[in-house]
Structure 1
Amino acid sequence: MSTILIVIILATILMSYKGFNDNDFFRKFEFHIGSIRAGDQIRMISSGFLHADIGHLFFNMFTLYMFAPVVSNYFGNASFFLIYIGSLVFGSLLTLAMHKNDYGYRAIGASGAVTGIIYSAILIQPDMMLGLFYVIPIPAYLFGIGYLLYSIYGMKAKNDNIGHTAHFGGAIGGYLITLIKEPSMLEYNLTMVILLAIPIVILFILFKAGKL
């Protein structure tokens, strides 16, 4: 495990644990549209280090632990960190853009950043296989596309408390930063680049049409 991955996981665990036991701390650093629009921009990053409970924290950190080596081994630790934080910021920016008039909107969790790492890993290693429910083998790219299509459904339905918009923004961040750093993927991995772009295009079509 790389040093930067250890630092990210430890920082997330420590900040989340602090939030579990200190509601004032939690409220101060969570993603909150009203506070961000009032100038409290640090929340756009700090919210990615807070979690709702142990299960939420474990799932995100375990998923990060599984996918991070693909990205850090390919690009190096510095670029891995850039993709992680960049995806977190993209997730926050998209959430801010889509919920800008909902001043009470709140969100927490590393899901956007982790989704960006997942998308980056799929671009790097498109033939990677995942174990759906840890049992059923499934190509990683199908998981990525399906996950984002589910996120679109969640954004439209608005029937849970999951930050689907941040997932989507994180995926876009991981996708774009990876392609910027490795534009040759547009040549030798064009099919996968196009496939992973499909849910992103659908999202923006729906957004422009006022369907979200």
Structure 2
Amino acid sequence: MNIVLLVILAANVLISYKAFNDTHFFRKYEFHIGSIRSGEQYRMFSSGFLHVDFAHLFFNMFTLYMFAPFVIANVGALYFAYLYFGSLIAGNLLTLYFHKEDYYYRAVGASGAVTGIIYSAILLEPNLYMYGIIPGYVFGFAYLLFSIYGMKAKNDNIGHVAHFGGAIGGFGITLAKHPFLISEEPITVIALLIPIIILFILAKMRKI
């Protein structure tokens, strides 16, 4: 396993495990609009290493483990790290934008970063199959549509909006490095762009 990926996986597991057993630690580093707007911008980064429970942690880390090697093989470990953290920040920036007036809004999770890696992997490997049976672009599309449902339901502490911000980050950062994908894989590019467009249409209509 690549050392950069291993470090990211280990950091998520160790920090999340610490937070599972320490409520004060969890509250200090989670994404919280009121705290961020009062000056605690470090939460924009730290919240990406916290998870709601073991299931949330496992799903994110397993998905990252499945998709990351495709990205690393195509762009290298350093650009992979840039993609991961760029998507994490992009996800939280979009969350801040959507909820800037909701001072009590809280969220945690590496979902933004992981979604960015999913998008990047699918762009770089259009014939990728998740779990050996689900086409990558179908998984990515479904993942973000589920996020729309999560945003509307608002029944958990998972950062669903961050999924979209992360997708935008992974999408943009990957195409910035390999712009030829737009002309060589237009169907994949369009398929991944559709749920992002749906989000902004719904937002403009105030449906989410």
Quick check: TM above 0.5?
Answer: yes
Which residue of the partner structure matches residue 23 of structure 2? 23
**1:123 and 2:123 aligned:** yes
Asked if 1:191 corresponds to 2:174, the answer is: no
Is 2:52–2:157's contact at 8 Å kept on the other side of the alignment?
no
Q: Give the Cα–Cα distance (whole angstroms) in 2 for the partners of residues 156 and 51 of structure 1.
A: 20
In structure 2, which of residues 161, 172, 176 is the aligned counterpart of residue 180 of structure 1?
176
Distance 1:17 1:165, change over 3 A: same
Higher mean C-alpha displacement, 76-85 vs 159-168: 159-168
2:197 alignment counterpart: 201
Letter in 2 for 1:138: I
Report percent identity of matched pairs: 64
Query: For residues 159 and 108 of structure 1, do their structure 2 counterparts lie closer, same or farther at Cα, with a shift above 3 Å needed?
Result: closer
Match of 2:137 in 1: 141
The residue identity in structure 1 corresponding to 2:199 is L
Deviation at 1:211, TM superposition (A): 2.0
How far is 1:154 from its partner? 2.3
Q: What are the Cα deviations for residues 44-78 of structure 1, in whole angstroms up to 9, with x where unaligned? A: 11001111222221221111111100001110011
Q: How does 1:8-157 map to 2 (within 5 A)?
A: 8-131=8-131, 137-157=133-153
Aligned counterparts of 1:62 and 1:158: Cα–Cα separation in 2: 24
Structure 2 Cα separation of the partners of residues 211 and 193 of structure 1: 25
Structure 1 unmatched runs, 5+:
none
Distance 2:156 2:12 in 1: 24
TM-score by length of 1: 0.94
Measure, in 1, the Cα distance between the counterparts of 2:53 and 2:201.
34
1:174, 1:96 → 2: CA distance? 18
1:207 is displaced (CA, Å) by: 1.4
User: Separation in 1 of the partners of 2:106 and 2:129?
Assistant: 34
RMSD: 1.3
Shift of residue 163, structure 1, vs aligned partner: 2.0
Return the offset for 1:161. 3.7
Q: Match of 1:83, SS?
A: helix
SS of the aligned residue for 2:158 comes to: coil
- Relative distance call for 1:155 and 1:53 in structure 2 (3 A) is closer
CA shift at 1:157, angstroms?
A: 3.2
Q: Is the 8 A contact 2:33 2:100 kept in 1?
A: yes
Matches of 2:91 and 2:154 in 1, distance apart?
A: 17
Deviation by residue 1:116-163 (Cα, 9 ceiling, x = unmatched): 1011100011111123xx8xx221101111211221222223344432
Q: Distance in 1 between matches of 2:139 and 2:55?
A: 21
- Cα distance in 2, alignment partners of residues 149 and 62 from structure 1: 20
Letter in 1 for 2:141: I
Task: Give the stretch that moved more between structures: 158-167 or 175-184.
Answer: 158-167
TM-aligned CA deviation for residue 20 of structure 1:
1.5
Count of aligned positions: 208
Deviations 1:65-108 (A, max 9, x none): 11100001110011000000011001101111111111111111
Question: Moved runs in structure 1, 4+ residues, more than 6 A?
Answer: none
- Residue aligning to 1:165: 161
Measured at CA, do residues 5 and 109 of structure 1 come closer, stay the same or move farther in structure 2, by a change above 3 Å?
A: same
What residue identity is the alignment partner of 2:160? Answer: H
